[in-house]
Amino acid sequence: MNSDADAPRLTGLITYATIATAIVALLLLTNWPTYQYEVRGGPIPLYFYALPAVLIIPMLFADPGSAVRFLRDPLFWWFVVFVVIGLFSLLLAQDFMENAARQWRLRLLALMFFYTITILASGSQRRLIGWVMVGCVLLACALCWFDVLRPGRIVPQGIEGSSERGAGLFINPNIAGSFIVMGTIAALPMIPSRLRGLLLVAAVFGVAGTFSRGAFVMVTIAMAGMIWLKLVKRAQGMVLVLALPVLVGGVSLAYDYAIDTSENRHVKGVVERLNWFRDTAEEDSAVEGRKWGAKRAWEAFLDSPAIGNGIGATSLAVDLDGPHNMYLMLMAEHGIFGFLLYISLCALLVRQGRSVARWARSVRDRDIGNSMALFGMALAVYGFFSHNVLEDPFTVFLMAFLTAAAFGARRVATADARRYVRPRTVARDAATPV
DSSP letters spanning 225-290: HHHHTTSS-HHHHHHHHHHHHHHHHHHHHHHHHHHHHHTTSS-HHHHHHHHHHH-TTS--HHHHHH
Contact in structure between 369 and 402 (CB atoms under 8 Å): no
- Choice among 52-66, 95-109, 208-222, 349-363 with the minimum mean pLDDT: 95-109
Radius of gyration of the chain (CA): 23
Instruction: Look at residues 336, 339, 373 and name the one whose alpha carbon lies nearest to residue 353.
Output: 373
pLDDT band at 351 (very low <50, low <70, confident <90, very high): very high
Contact in structure between 118 and 404 (CB atoms under 8 Å): yes
More confident residue, 306 or 183: 183
* Neighbour count for residue 289 (Cβ, 10 Å): 14
Q: What is the 3-state secondary structure (H, E, C) of 357-373?
A: HHHCCCHHHHHHHHHHH
- Alpha-carbon distance 313 to 297, whole Å? 8
Q: What is the 3-state secondary structure (H, E, C) of 116-160?
A: HHHHHHHCCCHHHHHHHHHHHHHHHHHHHHHHHHCCCCCCCCCCC
- Alpha-carbon distance 20 to 299, whole Å? 45
First to last CA, the chain: 37
pLDDT of residue 299: 85
pLDDT of residue 426: 35
Answer yes or no: is pLDDT of 252 > 80. no
Read off the pLDDT of residues 121-157 as tens digits, 9 standing for 90 and up.
999 999 999 999 999 999 999 999 898 888 788 888 7
- Choice among 116-120, 153-157, 258-262 with the minimum mean pLDDT: 258-262
- Alpha-carbon distance 28 to 232, whole Å? 26
pLDDT band at 421 (very low <50, low <70, confident <90, very high): very low
**Phi, psi (rounded to 5 degrees) for 382:** -60, -35
- Alpha-carbon distance 209 to 173, whole Å? 9
DSSP state, 315? S
- Alpha-carbon distance 148 to 144, whole Å? 6
pLDDT of residue 246: 64
pLDDT band at 165 (very low <50, low <70, confident <90, very high): confident
Residues recorded for the chain:
434
For 13, residues 6+ apart whose C-beta sits below 8 A from its C-beta are: 59, 62, 63, 123
pLDDT band at 51 (very low <50, low <70, confident <90, very high): very high
- Choice among 82-96, 242-256, 369-383 with the minimum mean pLDDT: 242-256
- Alpha-carbon distance 415 to 418, whole Å? 5
Read off the pLDDT of residues 284-325 as tens digits, 9 standing for 90 and up.
556 666 777 788 888 888 888 888 888 888 875 455 567 889
pTM of the model: 0.86
